[in-house]
Structure 1
Amino acid sequence: MNELLTFALIGLGTGAINVILATGLVMVYRGSGIINFAQGGLAILGAYTVFELRTVYEASFAVALVTAVVLVAAVGVAVHFLVMRPLRAAGPMSRVIATLGVLTIVTQVIILKYGAEQRTVPLPLPSDAVEVRSGVIVGEQNLYLAGIAVVLIVALTLLSEKTRIGHALSAAAEDPRAAAALGWSPDLLASLTWGLGGALAGLAGALFPATSTGFMSVTQMSVLIIGGLSTALLGQFRSFPLVLVGGLLIGVAQSLATRYVDQTGFADAIPFLIIIVVLIVRGRGLPVRGSATDRLPRVGNGRLRPVVLVPVVAGGLAFLALAAPESWFPALIVSMTFAIVGLSVLVLTGYAGQLSFAQFAIGGVGAFVAGRLVAARDWPLEAALPTGVLVATLVGLLFGLPALRTRGVNLAVVTFGLGFALFQLLFSNSSYTGGAEQTQINEPTLFGIDIDPITHADHYTILCFVTLVALAIMVANLRRGRAGRRLLAVRTNERAAAAAGVSVFQGKLYAFTLAAAIAGIGGVLLGFSYSTIVYQQLFRPDASISLLVLVVIGGSGYVFGPMIGALLAAGGVAVLPFGDAATNGESEIIAYLPLATGILLLATLLLNQHGIVDRMSAMTTAALGRLRRTDDATGPVADAPDDERQQMTVPPLVLEIEGLTQQFGGFMALSDVSLSLRPGEVVGLLGPNGAGKTTLIDAVSGFNRITRGRVSLGEDDITTWSPHRRSRAGVTRSFQSLELFDDLTVEENLLVASDKHDARAYVTDLVRPGRPVMSDTVVAAVTELRLAGLLGRHPVELSYGDRRLVAIARAVAGRPSVLLLDEPAAGLDTTERLELGHLIRRLADDWGIAVLLIEHDVPMVLRTADRVVVLDFGRIIAEGTPEAIKHNAAVHAAYLGHSAQSESESV
């Protein structure tokens, strides 16, 4: 028992550092809504500032501590004004990636000045042994650190709850606009919290040597962010008392694991294992504001031009086989393998919008399995390589499971933790990686060809080149195919994707699986490019971050983005202009390359967050446009006169809603609502704001799990069906806020809804995506709504009225039997409303669609509908013909607000 208590008390020191770091993370989040991945780097800056002042200038610890805290606080404020403020219009994902740039710059500056080796520093706190009780002896620094953490949390809690500025910060954490309405500048609050966050990071860094017996290094301190993130998560990024309890418990758990768990790396992996458990228990992600409006980098069209591709590939092969200097091969191999793993980032982040910090770790799994099979089991490479890729794919699938419950920045935290845990438990364990000799690869051959990277580096380089080209073509094919459109729909708007018939879960898991397979191939090629695979060095957790940085610089939405970014990989092609010394690692240029990439990342995000390739593409397009003087914005379909419009029919199915009740906690949004929608009939749904109209559409389309009741379509009970399954069965909807896929053209928006939803496309599109063909339903919808001239344009380029029409066209593109329209006339002028009313009647009369029309324009509803249903406080208070509703006293009292006679005259 005494031993257990001793190690628990020892853990208080580490736990206190977790608490101090986490409070800084919470402060930054409360003020600006950003999860600051640079917090650990700022702590390192604080630690080395104290080291410099105490060892070089012989300052007292008190002076060094105050100086470090003030300096790092100033850096935090500078980060806000120089980086985060200019990026305030960017999405949360871009701002989080910017913190990675800050992290890279800070850590690389420190490494350049002090090196990465471990240093001995004066202890910041007394460290004499203290006997807490008989048989329980611990270093007193642990008790001091715990006391500092407690005092800090009490002070911040009082600041938050008892002061005016604390109330403003709390309001900003919930709603920045509310804080602004109360007279507080969001910019002031953000700069204040970035300063406080920096100060707390500086304090944590200055105190860190107390937990490491006076030793520190950049590598050793780089893992601090892990404990801080997990602690902030347990505090839900807002509760300081929960941060205190959570941080100390994590420290205690790590200390006990060090003593009682005989597994290398398990103690270091505990914080993120806690993250996974919390996510599973909570069933939701980390609290990140603004994810619904995240602006993602632009995506290329994936078009391949054989007239350009074939000569380039042939020229590349000829150069590698006949002309490339032998000294270039190592750098080429590094850049090409980085580019291959970068293609996995393109699929996952660029196409599917899932931010992963674990792609290099997944690549390491492929290299680990293949390497161990070759080295320890004498497997041929022809069998080991696909086995390694297969295992990496399965691991990627497992990593994708959290994506079903979280997304964006939240997912980045989770995948970073999973990758770190994998590194600690597997790659850092020499008993798994081959012991002191590691994993040695002797004279590898592939299909009888010697590809030893030492003796036949040209063969190995050509193998990497061919693999890179093949995978790049597959990823480009994916973008142009049905599967690519599905992924982009999921990336842009998951609700709208599901409403268009796309399985969001299937799409996410496919993206993770395919990305893992690509990363596995890149990892195997990188690992086997060395005669001895040292997993702990090649597949470090920060390698995934460096990879993401490089891909973002190149352009995370373009196939060439990873290739451009990979040129800057450490030891890659970027060092070739500086001679053989740089290529062989003997030049200082390699040391400055990571710093340059960090600076370039911030410059890219500030100037053009879409990356270098996007800028090059825009310049090329503009130049070609000036030469051609043509406008290719029009699509392949011309508007047709009314008498030539194609007449469509849909399967005649009746939608029945029986006793539908929707309750949210103690609030009854809908109560015992029953109605039917019959083919060729327009049913208007009226009611004041808050009556439950949109809630009814959400329930019928599957976005809400109803409390009681039944929904049926034809003979099928669809009450428990998912939204995408209901859409495929014939129930589609529009949204009040349109929710179009802005990353796709108008034509692609319509194709997403009309494409076949077979799983086969996820495989066949990689090889042969085919040309997109608009179905007769889409052609009819385009003609009916006069959208032919807009097909090649993106929704953001259209007027609001045209965007409304595109939303309706997408809803009918899948040939639905039932169409649910949620305020389709909002924002339209009188003429446009009249035309919309005529269109809705044609959809019912000519196509046979059953239409439910929600609209605040009462005269339009009464002109258009066959029947009208009126909701008030979630209950149906009237139902009948438009004429009957006009003169219904209950309706006037609840909604119309004036006499039946005046309403009749207005209509």
Structure 2
Amino acid sequence: MSDFVQFAALGLGLGSVYALLAVGLVLIYRGSGTINLAHGHFAVLAAFLFVELRDNRGLSTAVTLVLVVLLTAAVGGLVQLCVMRPLRGASPISRVIATLGVLTVVNESLALAFGAEQQATEPLLPTETVQVAGVVLGRQSLYLAVIAVLVVAALVASSRTRFGLALTASAENPRAARALGWSPEVLAMATWIVGGALAGLAGSLVFSTTSGYFTLGGLSLLIVGALAAALFAQFRSYPMALLAGWLLAIVQSEAMQYTDITGVSDAIPFIAIVVMLVIRGRGLPVRGTTADRLPSVGNGRVRAVPALVATGLLVLLMQTTWKLDYDLLQAIVVSMSVGIVALSIVVLTGYAGQLSLAQMALAGVGAYAAGRLVDAQGWTFGPALVAGIVAAGLVGLLLGLPALRTRGVNLTVVTFGLGFAVYAVLFSSTELTGGTDQTQIPFQTLFGLEIDPVLHLHTYASVCVVAFALVALLIANLRRGRVGRRLLAVRVNERAAASIGVSVFAAKLYAFSLAAAIAGLGGVLLAFSYSTILYANLFGPFSSINVMTVAVVGGVGYALGPALGVPLVTGGVGTIIAAQLSESIDAYVPLAGGVILILLLIASQNGAAAAISAAIPARLRAWRLPLGGRPVHEVATPRQVEPIESHSLTVSGVVQRFGGVTALSEVSLFVEPGKVLGLLGPNGAGKTTLVDVVTGYASPAQGRVLLGKSDITSWSATKRARAGLGRTFQSLELFDDLSVRENLLAASDQRDALGYVTDLFWPGRGRLTTTAAAAVEELGLGDVLDKLPTELSYGQRRLVAIARAVSTRPSVLLLDEPGAGLDESETAELGHLIRRLAHEWGMGVLLIEHDVAMVLRTSDDVVVLDFGRTIFTGAPGRVSDDPTVRTAYLGLPATADV
């Protein structure tokens, strides 16, 4: 028992450092809404500054501590002023990527200034032991705990001041705070300065937990524990961050006592992050959730002949002119291999909208599987390559599971932690990577070609170039196919994607698996370019950030993007070019990459490929066709629409509660095929909540929903949509990154699983179904099919939303305020269209609209809700005479004369 308490006490010191960093993260998030992934490196910077000022410059400990805290506070303020403030209107994910750029700049600056060697210094706090209840404890742990408690107490006290209340208000509603006289920019600046100071304090105190010894890489791991603690606190509570920091470090310390497996204790914060996010996550975002605005996406069209000529020319040069230039060929191998990993980010982030900072870790998994099979099992390169790709894909599938219940920056934290966990548990373990000899790669062949990187590097480099070109072609095909439209629909709006029958879960898991498999390919090619694979060197915990830089700078939404970003790869072609300019400049390439990433995000988050695409004249862009030279899309000639499969909708006794509020109370209604049922009610009556319950976006406390004879109460939104339940949204929720045509194609595409494979090789030609084409004709959208929804008027966007819902061929269509924003003539025409959908197409229509006259003209029957209760059901002509309805709408007594 005494050992348990003693190890817990050891963890108390590290937990206090976690807590100091975590409360800084919480403070910055509360003030600016940004998760600062560079926060740990503020502490690392402080540690190096402390050693430099005290040990090398001879300053006293007290003066050094004050200077270091002030300097890191200044760094925090500088980052807010120069980086985050210009990005205040950008998406949260863009701001997080910007903090990665800051992390890179700090990390590379420290590496250039101090190197990677171990540093030594005297701990700041006393290291003597003290005996408490028979247990020997270190004084430094107790002092650290007291300091952490005092800091948290001060923050809690400040949060109750006028400034603290303003900070909370600004985080929730910046406009309201500004109206009350508080500048959100000033508040954000204050939190970044104080957060930087806390990181400086933590970095100065960390020596007391490491006996005075530290390395750049070792201190960098602090951020994972701090992020886990902040997540436990939901980036809101300072005391919870303190307790979580202590708890995590204590569990880590106890794990070191009870297990000898390398890296297990370092992986505990990652496990905690995954558990917390999965428990707190949701399958689909709630109503009102706004999706992050991600970088623009290319159309996937390729110029086949120039691409083939460029690839062939490059291979020819490597086989002839560059055959003996070892450094250049090795740089090409590195660039192409890492470029393939960057292509995986195009699939995952560019197409599916899932930001991952673990792609190099997944590449390392593929390399590990292939390398160990070759070294330990005697496999040849070809089968081992396939095995590595499959292994990485399977791990990517597992990584995708948390993505089913979390998204955005929270998911970024999960993947960020995974990179550290894989590095700590797998790549840093000598026992698991081949012992003292590590993983040895003997002479290899592929399809009869000798590809040994020592004797035949020109051939191996050619394989890497061809592999990059093929993968780029595959993901360009994916973008043009129906699966690409599914992924982009999920990226833009998960709720809307589910409403047209797209499986959000399947799309996410596919994106994670495919991206991981592609990363695995790049990892195997990179690792096998060496005769001895040193996994820890090739797949370090920050290597994924370098790959993200490549993808974002080049254009994360474009298959061409990684080709434009690879000059920034460490050890790649850019390094060779830099070395030609100066012998020492090549060491600054990674630092330059971080600076370029920050500047690019401030200027535009779309990348170099988007800039090039925009610079190409429109007539040349129109000429770019897929392989085969055929147009990408053809519109089907409208014909007589096939009859819609008829099903009725029955809602029986539905009750929906949100906490102590009953939003729906015993609501029942019936929608018949071929008829329009109007649903009226004042604001807050529960109309949209009823639609959410019917379509599967909310689970009722009681009651049933039937489509035809099938009880669909427990079905997912996707399954209901595929069964014939369609809807529109009050806020439209169109896929703004897809053209109008692609919005309709996404709704009418087949939902076959085979497309996940075939679209990589032959995406086919998108062709509107007869139903979608008829909807285009009915709504007059023929002239805007190739425009983005953002280029249309509000009224046209409303019509596109209806056309998209109709394109799914629903048996029952729920229209939520389709006439909002339309003028009187447009509303009248919309009413005629809705009646045609019901009477001529055979759909059952539930119409919600605040324009009472339009509803009464259009509907066959009417239901009226008030405060979640049904107050009227009957013919439209009887509504105005009902006294209860008049009371609900006009606030008059039922007996009043109106």
The TM-score range, normalised by the shorter chain, is over 0.9
Task: Classify the secondary structure of the residue corresponding to 2:667.
Answer: strand
Residue aligning to 1:818: 812
Instruction: Render the CA deviation track for 1:174-194: whole Å, top value 9, x for unaligned.
Output: 443443343322111111111
Contact 1:820 1:852 in 2 (8 A): yes
Q: TM-score, normalised to structure 1's length?
A: 0.95
Distance in 2, matches of 1:222 and 1:434, equals 26
- Within-5 A mapping of 1:507-656: 507-579=507-579, 587-621=583-617, 624=620, 649-656=643-650
Residue aligning to 1:58: 58
| From 778, 783, 787, the counterpart of 1:789 | 783
Distance in 2, matches of 1:903 and 1:186, equals 51
Instruction: Render the CA deviation track for 1:202-233: whole Å, top value 9, x for unaligned.
Output: 11111111111112221121111111101111
Shift of residue 745, structure 1, vs aligned partner = 0.4
Instruction: Render the CA deviation track for 1:784-818: whole Å, top value 9, x for unaligned.
Output: 00001101010011110110000000010111111
**Unmatched 5+ stretches in structure 2:** 625-630
Instruction: Render the CA deviation track for 1:814-833: whole Å, top value 9, x for unaligned.
Output: 11111100011111122221
CA gap of 1:635–1:282, structure 2 versus 1, over 3 A, is closer
Shift of residue 652, structure 1, vs aligned partner = 2.0
Task: Classify the secondary structure of the residue corresponding to 1:507.
Answer: helix
Residue aligning to 1:210: 208
| From 720, 726, 729, the counterpart of 1:732 | 726
Q: Tell me whether 1:850 sits opposite 2:844 in the alignment.
A: yes
Instruction: Render the CA deviation track for 1:363-403: whole Å, top value 9, x for unaligned.
Output: 11111111011101111222222112111111110010000
Residue aligning to 1:306: 304
Q: Tell me whether 1:322 sits opposite 2:320 in the alignment.
A: yes
Residue aligning to 2:232: 234
Q: Which amino acid aligns with 1:397?
A: L
Instruction: Render the CA deviation track for 1:673-697: whole Å, top value 9, x for unaligned.
Output: 1111112211110001111100111
Contact 1:866 1:881 in 2 (8 A): yes
Shift of residue 80, structure 1, vs aligned partner = 1.1
Contact 1:321 1:458 in 2 (8 A): yes
Contact 1:648 1:780 in 2 (8 A): no
Shift of residue 517, structure 1, vs aligned partner = 0.9
Q: Which amino acid aligns with 1:88?
A: R
Residue aligning to 1:4: 4
Q: Which moved more, 1:303-312 or 1:548-557?
A: 303-312
Task: Classify the secondary structure of the residue corresponding to 2:558.
Answer: coil
Task: Classify the secondary structure of the residue corresponding to 1:323.
Answer: coil
Contact 1:74 1:198 in 2 (8 A): yes
Instruction: Render the CA deviation track for 1:598-645: whole Å, top value 9, x for unaligned.
Output: 0000111011100011111111136848999xxxx999669x9xxx98
- Within-5 A mapping of 1:13-162: 13-134=13-134, 136-161=135-160
Task: Classify the secondary structure of the residue corresponding to 2:646.
Answer: coil
Q: Cα RMSD (Å) of the superposition?
A: 2.4
CA gap of 1:366–1:636, structure 2 versus 1, over 3 A, is closer
Q: Which moved more, 1:741-750 or 1:384-393?
A: 384-393
Q: Tell me whether 1:668 sits opposite 2:666 in the alignment.
A: no
Distance in 1, matches of 2:30 and 2:835, equals 50
Contact 1:886 1:903 in 2 (8 A): no
Contact 1:634 1:792 in 2 (8 A): no
Distance in 2, matches of 1:512 and 1:236, equals 26
Task: Classify the secondary structure of the residue corresponding to 1:45.
Answer: helix
Q: Tell me whether 1:171 sits opposite 2:189 in the alignment.
A: no
The number of equivalent residue pairs is 890
CA gap of 1:13–1:53, structure 2 versus 1, over 3 A, is same
Q: TM-score, normalised to structure 2's length?
A: 0.96
Contact 1:21 1:228 in 2 (8 A): yes
Q: Which moved more, 1:827-836 or 1:285-294?
A: 285-294
Q: Which amino acid aligns with 2:140?
A: Q
Task: Classify the secondary structure of the residue corresponding to 1:820.
Answer: strand
Distance in 2, matches of 1:96 and 1:288, equals 23
Residue aligning to 2:270: 272
CA gap of 1:470–1:902, structure 2 versus 1, over 3 A, is farther
CA gap of 1:130–1:289, structure 2 versus 1, over 3 A, is farther
Shift of residue 459, structure 1, vs aligned partner = 1.0
Distance in 1, matches of 2:287 and 2:894, equals 46
Distance in 2, matches of 1:858 and 1:875, equals 18
Distance in 1, matches of 2:390 and 2:457, equals 26
Distance in 2, matches of 1:833 and 1:84, equals 44
Shift of residue 310, structure 1, vs aligned partner = 2.5
Residue aligning to 2:628: none
Q: Which amino acid aligns with 1:172?
A: S
Contact 2:129 2:136 in 1 (8 A): yes
Contact 1:233 1:286 in 2 (8 A): no
Shift of residue 580, structure 1, vs aligned partner = 7.1
Shift of residue 900, structure 1, vs aligned partner = 11
Task: Classify the secondary structure of the residue corresponding to 2:767.
Answer: coil
Contact 1:397 1:513 in 2 (8 A): yes
**Unmatched 5+ stretches in structure 1:** none
Distance in 2, matches of 1:231 and 1:578, equals 41
Distance in 2, matches of 1:682 and 1:287, equals 29
Distance in 1, matches of 2:196 and 2:531, equals 43
Residue aligning to 1:193: 191
Q: Which amino acid aligns with 2:146?
A: G
Shift of residue 260, structure 1, vs aligned partner = 2.0
Residue aligning to 1:658: 652
CA gap of 1:621–1:205, structure 2 versus 1, over 3 A, is farther
Distance in 2, matches of 1:801 and 1:648, equals 28
CA gap of 1:288–1:668, structure 2 versus 1, over 3 A, is closer
Distance in 1, matches of 2:65 and 2:740, equals 58
Residue aligning to 1:427: 427
Q: Tell me whether 1:713 sits opposite 2:711 in the alignment.
A: no
Distance in 2, matches of 1:577 and 1:543, equals 21
Distance in 2, matches of 1:23 and 1:288, equals 28
Instruction: Render the CA deviation track for 1:147-195: whole Å, top value 9, x for unaligned.
Output: 101111111111112x111112233344434433433221111111111
Instruction: Render the CA deviation track for 1:759-796: whole Å, top value 9, x for unaligned.
Output: 11000000100010111001100000000110101001
Distance in 1, matches of 2:201 and 2:895, equals 74
Contact 1:634 1:791 in 2 (8 A): no
Contact 1:634 1:788 in 2 (8 A): no
Residue aligning to 2:627: none
- Within-5 A mapping of 1:237-386: 237-283=235-281, 292-325=290-323, 326-327=325-326, 328-386=328-386
